[in-house]
Amino acid sequence: MKEAGYIFNVASRPGKIGYTDTGIYSASKFGLICLSESFYKKLAPYGIRVTMICPGIVDTQMASETATKLSSEEMIQPTDIMKTIRWLLKLSVSTCVKEVVIEC
């Protein structure tokens, strides 16, 4: 990890806000957010950056199987998450963005 210097955790918007029909899913994502926060604090002294990415509805098979009323074009595209990671990797090593919430 020290050589890589960066950890990205991808949770979900429901990890930030609970919804009526996603309690278990939201709880698992909230747990990942908390773990990421712990890593962020513990690994910073070693120069390892940790960023939690929390996207809303991403255009995936899972999203298409839910009751979402969004079209594919209205959802977050997986490539946008990759573009976000690329942007974060371009920041100077002295900069760390702890969390990114991506809305659609």
Active site residue 6: no
Distance CA 67, CA 65 (A): 7
Q: What's the pLDDT tens digit per position in 60-101?
A: 888 888 767 899 899 999 999 999 999 999 999 889 999 999
Residue 3 has pLDDT above 80, yes or no: no
Whole-angstrom CA distances from 21 to 18, 24, 46, 83, 101 are: 9, 9, 40, 30, 21
Say whether pLDDT at 2 is over 70: no
| Catalytic residue selected from 6, 25, 40, 46 | 25
Question: Model confidence at 21, in pLDDT bands (50, 70, 90)?
Answer: confident
Nearest to 101 by CA among 66, 51, 50: 51
Q: How does 6-27 read in b/e, with b if 16+ C-beta sit within 10 Å? A: bebbbbbbbbbeeeeebeeebe
Domain ranges of the chain: 6-102
For the segment(s) 6-102, the CATH number from 3.30.70.2860, 1.10.10.10, 3.30.540.10, 3.40.50.720 is 3.40.50.720
